[in-house]
Amino acid sequence: MPHDHDDHDHNYTQPPSDLELRVKALESLLLEKGLVKADALNTIIDTYETKIGPRNGARVVAKAWVDGDFKKALIEDAGAAVAALGYAGRQGEQLQAVENTPETHNLVVCTLCSCYPWTVLGLPPAWYKSAPYRSRAVSEPRSVMEEFGTELDPNIKIRVWDSTSELRYLVLPMQPLGTENWSEDKLSALVSRNSMIGVELARNPEDIN
């Protein structure tokens, strides 16, 4: 990160960067003026750092793999289906699940900013918000996926979803072969965050043993 001077290699204290000072000053100002409350800030951070993350989405996908009725409900109205599992809230209201098939693979991007289904995946990784991903996902998705080590058969069509509205997209990856009798819990370990964005496939059974 260009202006981030966190440096833990030295055993003396680094002076804070201009950026750190600017943020500290802004926070002090807002607290002093009573525009924000300290406990509210801590709650926001704690929620997205420890409570809401891609394990939510992995449980949704695993359930869809084992429960045909849930999968149908998820495809029809993903927002309602995941809310029924307790995953409601910010940036997940109007969720669409897009299902990978042997013919079509789905990939999600937001070329204009960083729209992402927070309720099921948490906050997006840095690369998802980066200029290289946002620019290339729509125009050269195969080379993008290759950067994640994903080689897709050229016969499989890639369908890219550019999240330009308040609709949010969750990729439903294909269930790996050889996991037909697995429990939901065990299956959820195969569902990586990246597979729910679409840059990777679900993990293979041998990858988690």
Q: Is 113 a catalytic residue?
A: yes
Q: Is 115 a catalytic residue?
A: yes
* Cβ at position 64, least distance to other proteins in Å: 20
Backbone dihedral angles phi then psi of residue 16, each to the nearest 5 degrees: -65, 150
> What angle do the packed helices 68-76 and 54-66 form, to 10 degrees?
120
Question: What is the contact mask toward other proteins in residues 118 to 157, using x (rule: CB under 8 A)?
Answer: ----xx-xxx-xxxxxxxx-xxxxx-x--xx-----xxxx
The tokens for 141 are 């998705």
Q: Is 165 a catalytic residue?
A: no
Tell which one of 84, 112, 151, 208 touches other proteins (CB under 8 A). 112
* Cβ at position 156, least distance to other proteins in Å: 7
| Catalytic residue chosen out of the listed positions 17, 28, 113, 163 | 113
What's the rounded Cα separation, in Å, for the pair 167 and 26? 32
Type of residue at 112: L
Say which residues have a Cβ less than 8 Å from residue 164's Cβ, sequence separation at least 6.
110, 111, 112, 115
Q: Which residues from 28-87 bind other proteins, rule CB under 8 A?
A: 29-30, 32-37, 39-45, 47-49, 53, 79, 83
Q: Which residues from 152-191 bind other proteins, rule CB under 8 A?
A: 154-167
